[in-house]
Chain A
Amino acid sequence: DAGITQSPRHKVTETGTPVTLRCHQTENHRYMYWYRQDPGHGLRLIHYSYGVKDTDKGEVSDGYSVSRSKTEDFLLTLESATSSQTSVYFCAISSSPVRTSGIYEQYFGPGTRLTVT
């Protein structure tokens, strides 16, 4: 299994409070991603990073910010949590490219279950 950890694994917080989720990898991969997964919507990309201090928005970035100050850590922050942000959050990393096919595979962390009350 790829070396990806997420913390916390579970969190309950109140509406309006800031929340930071952490993703840590030991694979030294360049690309890191944050997704959320909700029933009926599947997995949706929030933000991704293509290097230290290099990040970009995904499909559902409103209400979220990210930071990557080190290769191994990618932080997701909910500035002021809302009930609509109750979800399961997955971090992912990209493996090294396969030269012959150019296929880039992603590996996921165990997820963080966030409940906003």
Chain B
Amino acid sequence: RKEVEQDPGPFNVPEGATVAFNCTYSNSASQSFFWYRQDCRKEPKLLMSVYSSGNEDGRFTAQLNRASQYISLLIRDSKLSDSATYLCVVILSGSARQLTFGSGTQLTVLP
């Protein structure tokens, strides 16, 4: 079993739609969680950190469920510019800030 698993995708949604991605992690000692965005042939860029209480940044909402060991990302009112691959990232406690990446979920927002 992979340490971090994501929805396989791809997700193709129309502009304005709401789309949600889930990500599960296997190590209950995991400490920190992030969503990164990666455009084609570009570097990953931090989208948002995921806090225990959940957090929102504009159209993006991230949630953490420690009991079920998953995090989620909700994108409201999708824009064409949201088309990218979204990477779920987990830091294990005591791992000297090493990130474990999910394989990513590809999102295409259609006009």
Contacts and interface: CB of A to CB of B under 8 A. Distances in A.
Given A41-B103, A42-B104, A94 B46 contact: no
A74 interface: no
Nearest to B31: A102
Contact of A40 (B44, B46, B99, B103): B103
Contact residue range for chain A? 20 to 34
Nearest to B33: A103
A90 B42 CA distance: 10
A33 B96 CA distance: 11
A108 B51 contact: no
A101 B96 CA distance: 16
Interface in A68-109: 90, 94, 101-109
Sort A-B residue pairs by CB-CB distance and give the 3 closest, nearest first: A108-B43, A42-B103, A43-B101
Given A90-B44, A111-B43, A104 B103 contact: no
